Structure 1
Amino acid sequence: MSEKIVLIDGHSILNRAFYGIPELTNSEGLHTNAVYGFLNILFKILDEEKAQYLAVAFDLKAPTFRHKMYAEYKGTRKAMPEELREQVPLMKEVLSAMGVPLLMKEGYEADDLLGTIAGQAERAGLEVSIVSGDRDLLQLATDKVQIRIPKTKRTGTEIENYYAADVKEKYLVTPTEFVDVKALMGDASDNIPGIPGVGEKTATKIISEFGSIENAHDHLEEIKPNKAKLSLEEHYDLAVLSKTLAKINTESPVTLDLQAAKLTDLYTPEAFTWMKKLEFKNLLSRFHVEAPKDEAADHFELADTREKAEKFLEKAAKAESFGFAWIEEKDKIYGLSLSLGDEGTAFLLAEGSFDENGLALDFLRDHLEELLVYGKTAAVLDLKSQLDLFTVPDREKLFDLSIGAYLVNPLKDHYPYEDIAKEYLDQLIPGRAELFGKDPLEKAKENGEVFAKWACYQAYVAAAALEPVLAKLREMEMEHLFRDIEMPLVYTLRDMERAGISVEAEALKTYGDQLAGRIRELETAIYEQAGETFNINSPKQLGVILFEKMQLPGGKKTKTGYSTAADVLEKLAPEHPIVASILEYRTLAKLKSTYADGLAGFIGPDGRIHSTFNQTITATGRISSTEPNLQNIPVRMELGRLIRKVFVPKPGCVFVDADYSQIELRVLAHLSRDERLIQAYRDAEDIHRITASQVFHIPFDEVTPLQRRNAKAVNFGIVYGISSFGLSQDLSISRKEASEYIEKYFETYPGIKSFLDGLVENAKKNGYVTTLYGRRRPMPELKSSNFMQRSFGERVAMNAPIQGTAADIIKIAMIHVSERLKKEQLKSRLILQVHDELLIEAEESELEQVKTILREEMQGAAELSVRLEIDMHTGKNWYEAK
Structure 2
Amino acid sequence: MDKLILIDGNSLSFRAFYALPLLQNKAGIHTNAIYGFARLLEKILKEEQPTHFLVAFDAGKTTFRHEQYAEYKGGRQKTPPELSEQFPYIRQLLAAYAIQTYELDNYEADDIIGTLSREADEAGMQTIIITGDRDLTQLASDHVTIYYTKKGVTDVDHYTPAFIAEKYQGLAPKQIIDMKGLMGDASDNIPGVAGVGEKTAIKLLNQFGTVEGVYDAIDSVSGKKLKEKLIASKDDALMSKTLATINRQSPISVSLKDTRLPETYDESEKIALFKELEFRQLLDEVDRSPSEEVSAKTFEVATDLSLIDFENLNEAMVYIEVSGANYLKDPLLRFGIFDGNHYVVTSTDTMSAYQPLIQWLENPHAAKVTYDAKKLYIAMKRLGIALKHVTFDAMLASYLIDPSQTIDDVSSVMSRFADTYVQEDVVIYGKGKSYKIPEDDVLNTHIASILDALKTSKSQMLETLEAHQQLDLLTDLELPLAEILSEMEYTGIYTDKETLKAMEVNLQQRIDELIESIHEQAGEPFNINSPKQLGVILFEKLGLPIIKKTKTGYSTAVDVLEKLSGQHPIIENILTYRTLAKLQSTYVEGLQKVIWKDKRIHTRFNQTLAQTGRLSSVDPNLQNIPIRLEEGRQIRKAFKSSHEDYVILAADYSQIELRVLAHITGDPTLQKAFIDNEDVHTTTAMKVFNVAEDEVTSLMRRQAKAVNFGIVYGISDYGLSQSLGITRKEAQQFIDDYLSHFPGVKTYMETIVQDAKQQGYVETLLNRRRYIPDITSRNFNKRGFAERTAMNSPIQGSAADIIKKAMVDFKHAVQTTDFKAKLLLQVHDELIFEVPKDEVEAFSQFVEKIMVEALELDVPLSVESEYGPTWYDAK
Q: 1:562 to 1:654 in 2, by over 3 A?
A: closer
Cα distance in 1 between the residues matched to 2:794 and 2:800: 10
Question: Counterpart of 1:16?
Answer: 12
**1:158-173 equivalences in 2 (<5 Å):** 158=156, 160=158, 162=160, 172-173=170-171
Cα distance in 1 between the residues matched to 2:724 and 2:105: 60
**1:835-854 equivalences in 2 (<5 Å):** 835-843=828-836, 850-851=843-844, 853-854=846-847
**1:401 touches 1:469 (CA, 8 Å); kept in 2?**
no
TM-score, scaled relative to structure 1 = 0.69
**Aligned-partner SS, 1:814:** helix
Amino acid at match of 1:114: L
1:755 CA displacement = 3.5
Question: Counterpart of 1:326?
Answer: 321
1:498 CA displacement = 2.2
Match of 2:389 among 362, 380, 394: 394
Provide Cα deviations, 1:268-327, integer angstroms capped at 9, x if missing partner.
Answer: 4x245544455476667887785652334x125483x526x777x799x99998574433
Cα distance in 1 between the residues matched to 2:546 and 2:134: 36
Q: Are 1:865 and 2:861 matched, yes or no?
A: no
Provide Cα deviations, 1:550-604, integer angstroms capped at 9, x if missing partner.
Answer: 99x999787656677899599759x97x999989888877776666655444443
Match of 2:345 among 344, 348, 357: 348
Question: Counterpart of 2:746?
Answer: 757
Q: 1:455 to 1:671 in 2, by over 3 A?
A: same
**2:53 touches 2:261 (CA, 8 Å); kept in 1?**
no
Q: State the percentage of identical aligned residues.
A: 30
1:713 CA displacement = 5.1
1:59 CA displacement = 7.3
Provide Cα deviations, 1:689-731, integer angstroms capped at 9, x if missing partner.
Answer: 99999999999xxx87x96977975775553138999999999
**1:772-811 equivalences in 2 (<5 Å):** 772-775=765-768, 802=795, 804-811=797-804
Cα distance in 1 between the residues matched to 2:768 and 2:591: 34
**1:76 touches 1:188 (CA, 8 Å); kept in 2?**
no
Q: 1:291 to 1:32 in 2, by over 3 A?
A: farther
Question: Counterpart of 1:614?
Answer: 606
Cα distance in 1 between the residues matched to 2:204 and 2:725: 54
Question: Counterpart of 1:355?
Answer: none
Question: Counterpart of 1:817?
Answer: 810
**1:726-765 equivalences in 2 (<5 Å):** 750=741, 753-758=742-747, 760-761=749-750
**1:380-391 equivalences in 2 (<5 Å):** 380-381=371-372, 383-384=374-375, 387-389=378-380, 391=386
Cα distance in 1 between the residues matched to 2:135 and 2:604: 56
Cα distance in 1 between the residues matched to 2:130 and 2:690: 63
**2:333 touches 2:347 (CA, 8 Å); kept in 1?**
yes
Provide Cα deviations, 1:653-705, integer angstroms capped at 9, x if missing partner.
Answer: 45554444554554454344454564565556888899999999999xxx87x
Q: 1:519 to 1:808 in 2, by over 3 A?
A: same
Task: Could you tell me which runs of 5 or more consecutive residues in structure 2 were left unpaired when the two chains were aligned.
Answer: none
1:55 CA displacement = 3.2
Provide Cα deviations, 1:144-198, integer angstroms capped at 9, x if missing partner.
Answer: x233436396574746253x55555556455566677778888899999999998
Which protein has greater RCO, CA pairs closer than 8 Å, 6+ apart?
A: 2
**1:809 touches 1:862 (CA, 8 Å); kept in 2?**
yes
Cα distance in 2 between the residues matched to 1:83 and 1:739: 18
Provide Cα deviations, 1:48-91, integer angstroms capped at 9, x if missing partner.
Answer: 5566xx33457799589999x99666995899986576458646
Provide Cα deviations, 1:312-362, integer angstroms capped at 9, x if missing partner.
Answer: x799x999985744334444221135689xx9996825279xxxxxx5444
Question: Counterpart of 2:248?
Answer: 248
**1:769 touches 1:800 (CA, 8 Å); kept in 2?**
yes
Provide Cα deviations, 1:797-851, integer angstroms capped at 9, x if missing partner.
Answer: 8776555444332222121112222244654322233444434334567667645
Cα distance in 2 between the residues matched to 1:819 and 1:834: 21
Cα distance in 2 between the residues matched to 1:285 and 1:197: 53
Cα distance in 2 between the residues matched to 1:693 and 1:91: 47
Amino acid at match of 2:823: L
Question: Counterpart of 1:366?
Answer: 357
- Deviation larger for 688-697 or 14-23: 688-697
Q: 1:206 to 1:819 in 2, by over 3 A?
A: same
1:444 CA displacement = 0.6
Question: Counterpart of 1:356?
Answer: none
Question: Counterpart of 2:485?
Answer: 493
Cα distance in 2 between the residues matched to 1:522 and 1:165: 47
Cα distance in 2 between the residues matched to 1:255 and 1:795: 40
- Larger Cα-atom Rg: 1
Cα distance in 1 between the residues matched to 2:341 and 2:71: 62
Q: 1:568 to 1:128 in 2, by over 3 A?
A: closer
Question: Counterpart of 2:116?
Answer: 114
Question: Counterpart of 1:293?
Answer: 292
Cα distance in 1 between the residues matched to 2:736 and 2:233: 55
Cα distance in 1 between the residues matched to 2:351 and 2:781: 58
Match of 1:719 among 682, 691, 708: 708
Match of 1:149 among 137, 147, 155: 147
- Deviation larger for 478-487 or 495-504: 478-487
Q: 1:732 to 1:465 in 2, by over 3 A?
A: same
Amino acid at match of 1:383: K
TM-score, scaled relative to structure 2 = 0.70
**Aligned-partner SS, 1:496:** helix
1:231 CA displacement = 7.8
**1:149 touches 1:160 (CA, 8 Å); kept in 2?**
yes
Cα distance in 1 between the residues matched to 2:421 and 2:69: 47
Question: Counterpart of 1:856?
Answer: 849
Provide Cα deviations, 1:755-779, integer angstroms capped at 9, x if missing partner.
Answer: 4434554566648875443456789
**Aligned-partner SS, 1:613:** strand
**2:414 touches 2:457 (CA, 8 Å); kept in 1?**
yes
Q: 1:450 to 1:246 in 2, by over 3 A?
A: same
**1:526 touches 1:581 (CA, 8 Å); kept in 2?**
yes
**Aligned-partner SS, 1:644:** helix
**1:444 touches 1:451 (CA, 8 Å); kept in 2?**
no
1:398 CA displacement = 1.7
Cα distance in 2 between the residues matched to 1:56 and 1:447: 44
Cα distance in 2 between the residues matched to 1:787 and 1:275: 26
Match of 1:829 among 804, 818, 822: 822
**1:17 touches 1:38 (CA, 8 Å); kept in 2?**
yes
Cα distance in 2 between the residues matched to 1:242 and 1:460: 67
Cα distance in 1 between the residues matched to 2:728 and 2:153: 37
Q: 1:339 to 1:737 in 2, by over 3 A?
A: same
**Aligned-partner SS, 2:249:** coil
Cα distance in 2 between the residues matched to 1:321 and 1:626: 31
Question: Counterpart of 1:644?
Answer: 637
Cα distance in 1 between the residues matched to 2:243 and 2:727: 48
Amino acid at match of 1:248: R
**1:817 touches 1:853 (CA, 8 Å); kept in 2?**
no
Task: Could you tell me which runs of 5 or more consecutive residues in structure 1 were left unpaired when the two chains were aligned.
Answer: 353-358
Cα distance in 2 between the residues matched to 1:29 and 1:725: 16
**1:7 touches 1:56 (CA, 8 Å); kept in 2?**
yes
Amino acid at match of 1:378: V
Cα distance in 1 between the residues matched to 2:253 and 2:680: 75
Question: Counterpart of 1:445?
Answer: 437
Question: Counterpart of 2:127?
Answer: 129
Provide Cα deviations, 1:204-262, integer angstroms capped at 9, x if missing partner.
Answer: 6666666677877876766776468758986999699779x7452399999876xx988
Number of aligned residue pairs: give it.
834
**Aligned-partner SS, 1:299:** coil
Q: 1:219 to 1:756 in 2, by over 3 A?
A: same
Question: Counterpart of 2:3?
Answer: 6
Amino acid at match of 2:399: A
Cα distance in 2 between the residues matched to 1:59 and 1:155: 16
Cα distance in 2 between the residues matched to 1:617 and 1:74: 49
- Deviation larger for 325-334 or 871-880: 871-880
